[in-house]
Structure 1
Amino acid sequence: MEEADDTASGSPAESLRAALNALADPVRADQQRAYLHSELHHLGLRVPDLRHCVTQTRRALGPRPGYDVLALARDLWSAQESHAEPVYDYRRAAVEILVQYAGALDAAGLKDVEALLRQCRTWALVDPLAVHCVGAVALRDPAAGKVLDRWITDPDFWLRRSALLALLPAIRTGRPDNQRLTRYADTLVDEREFFLRKALGWVLRETSLRDPQLVLDWLDRHGSRVAALTRREALRRLT
């Protein structure tokens, strides 16, 4: 795949969309749409190919300030071209842009990221954005904690899932915020939503690799209130 050429193909977003369209696979698109129960238009790109296109764009652009990164992501996110519905692959590319440029963002930029999260409506977009963008920002900027604290009680369950998953990078790098984790887990223990029960189990499982006692104590404290799915996921790595 060739690198994006701004001068030949227009804006960076236009160049990237052209690169994505060149790799469209209608058969895979139908499969992906069915798998994700998606109402978006799908081009059918493989994630490694999409990620490669975004990487080439980033290399061509070089370092960019946060406002440029957010503007590029918004441009990709909203583009529909000739399609009646928004294009999933453009939105997935916007997520990847934010992931690859996460170092240019701070807590203030999460306002724009939040707007995208509210429109994701699928784990396939929410999870990489929450973990690898929001989580990366939270590792560097303590002010992000207040944003996550607001998300964890938001009526939109995808925002609540995002707040929880954004704790994963700190857990994985040995810098967990156990107080916040415990508070979030307490908040979500009675959730009925599958995607929140699953996410809570996932985060507890990651925590158990480094602090199994914290997980065991939390499960014991809440007893039968913990959903079977959450408990099963939390204990997956423990004997």
Structure 2
Amino acid sequence: MTSTARDVIQALAELADEKVAVGSARFFKTGPGEYGEGDVFIGVRVPATRGVVRRHRDLEPPEVETLLDSPVHEHRLAGLLILVSQCTTAARAGEDAVVEKVARFYVDLVLRGRVNNWDLVDSSADHILGTWLVEKPRDLIFRLAADDDLWRRRVALLSTFAFIRRGDASTTLEVAQRVLGDRRDLTQKATGWMLREVGKRVDRALLTDFLDRNAAVMGRTALSYACEHLTAEERAAYRAQR
């Protein structure tokens, strides 16, 4: 029997823990004026959520959409992880049409503001959007990077991790250049993280060249993350340029 959103919601409810919910609400900054303002947690830890997802990977798009339209964070995370599973399985099987269908659905969810916390972005962007665009033009990523919305911009950054893992740093460097002036903490961290991975996984020289040109205007957090695997002397030299 095909799973439904109700099945997923019930399974998560059985794992809910009020104390965990309180801690998660604090950790994900759900207070007034914070980046996760209004997000609702029921207190299901991520490994437990993944266990539920493994049992309901066959969820149809309308049912996934029900999960993503929920105000409950864990419902949205489960829906996204189901999409990740479906996209990954299709990509391995060479089912390009399925990958595209899932990715377009995902982009619609992003544009509707349903992928709206950093863990939701980080667990899905490269596995879905990045996977779809590995061998395609990257215009959509650049449009998301140009958007002032925090989560769309983070989706653009994190989706490039799929390219980094394949040895392609060009899109990451272009997106990082475009968002360099964004001083929001979550953009800074994502930018620095992706730059660090360029140096670690693709070519150290690409990272140092980027830093040679941009360190003086980078935010402290982005620069700190980007330099993590450089020598102490290099880190000090780049920080001195600010």
Q: Identify whether the pair has TM-score above 0.5, normalized to the shorter chain.
A: yes
Hey, what does 1:82 align to over in structure 2?
none
Deviation at 1:106, TM superposition (A): 3.6
Is 1:234 the equivalent of 2:219? no
Deviation at 1:107, TM superposition (A): 4.2
8 Å Cα contact 2:215-2:223 kept in structure 1? no
Percent identity (aligned): 29
Is 1:114 the equivalent of 2:107? yes
Hey, what does 2:6 align to over in structure 1?
14
Distance across 2 between alignment mates of 1:181 and 1:24: 38
Distance across 1 between alignment mates of 2:77 and 2:172: 28
Distance across 1 between alignment mates of 2:162 and 2:184: 23
Distance across 2 between alignment mates of 1:13 and 1:150: 31
**What does 1:1-239 correspond to in 2, within 5 Å?**
6=2, 12-38=4-30, 39-58=38-57, 61=58, 68=60, 70-79=61-70, 86-103=71-88, 104=90, 105-107=98-100, 109-117=102-110, 118-139=113-134, 142-143=136-137, 145-172=138-165, 174-176=166-168, 178-209=169-200, 210-239=202-231
8 Å Cα contact 2:196-2:227 kept in structure 1? yes
8 Å Cα contact 1:107-1:147 kept in structure 2? no
- The farther-off stretch of 29-38 and 112-121 is 112-121
Letter aligned with residue 8 of structure 2: L
Distance across 2 between alignment mates of 1:107 and 1:200: 26
Gap change, CA 1:119 and 1:77, over 3 Å in 2: closer
Gaps of 5+ in 1: 80-85
Letter aligned with residue 124 of structure 2: L
Letter aligned with residue 76 of structure 2: R
Distance across 2 between alignment mates of 1:219 and 1:131: 24
Hey, what does 1:83 align to over in structure 2?
none
8 Å Cα contact 2:127-2:162 kept in structure 1? yes
Give the paired residue count.
213
Distance across 1 between alignment mates of 2:151 and 2:55: 30
Deviation at 1:87, TM superposition (A): 1.2
Q: When the two structures are superposed, what TM-score results if normalisation uses the length of structure 2?
A: 0.80
Distance across 2 between alignment mates of 1:150 and 1:109: 19
Q: When the two structures are superposed, what TM-score results if normalisation uses the length of structure 1?
A: 0.81
8 Å Cα contact 1:19-1:53 kept in structure 2? yes
Gap change, CA 1:41 and 1:232, over 3 Å in 2: closer
SS of the equivalent of 1:152 reads helix
Gaps of 5+ in 2: 31-37, 91-97, 232-242
